[in-house]
Structure 1
Amino acid sequence: MILTRCAAAILACVLVASTTGAVYGEGSTAGVSNIYDISDAEIEIVKSGLADLLVDPESVRVSDIFAGTETLNEGREIIWVCGRVQGRTPMGGYAPRTHFIGALAHDDTGEQYFQVLKIADQSDEEQIDVLEKCLKVIK
């Protein structure tokens, strides 16, 4: 658990530093970020996508959300979304929050949907794996 908190703190520092120019210096293009300001409506789509995977879909809670964009070769834009998710267990209590990564995209009709790529289990290794994936796609 301590390792997970440390990894989350390091991730937060890297994201703040890279978006403020602290990593590469002001005026440098090497630190240009793809950070995306996710809307409340998009967060609801993320919650809906995550809820489908929970024991109690109505209990989904998300926190620590951050997002970044990537343009694919065919010009389609994907919004990578990372954060923490929590839901009720079969016993009725809430499980501990855990990290997730997924993508907001548009289908052929233009409808936006969220595809979950990974939800970490409670192990430090899984938590760090998801955070590292987030760092790779959200710069």
Structure 2
Amino acid sequence: MTRSISTLISAAAFALTALPGTASEATFETIKVEAGAQLFEAECRRCHAVDADHESYGPPLDNVIGRAAGSYPDYDYSVALEASGIVWTEAALRAWIEDNAGFMPGTKMRHVGIDDRTVQDFILAYLASITTRDAKAISE
């Protein structure tokens, strides 16, 4: 993990613990989403955009939670991913983020390997924030 990502995680963790006892759940979620957006930029953006309006090597990740794996239109997925039958729940995305090659042998995506659960939590909070349909029921 790079020093800047480590610094970001430390700052976000401090912000979460430094909030007064009356801070709302919405405040916590806002901090997680903001940290997740920065971590997404640092770790994921080199290959993935958040929407089809921006160029990317991989498929855009807006509305990824609740989407069937290998189903984004006009993207050339690996056979393994297209045939997987997986729906991108938060649990499936966490496994993918941690070890995509182990989770989906035969994928053409390079290994990600983000095994820090806090970083995963923040990125997942951000991905949930850019999912506009109600996918909460299937993400748990």
Same fold (TM over 0.5): no
The higher relative CO (CA closer than 8 Å, separation ≥ 6) is in: 2
More strand by share: 1
TM-score, normalization: structure 1? 0.32
- TM-score between both structures, scaled by the size of structure 2: 0.32
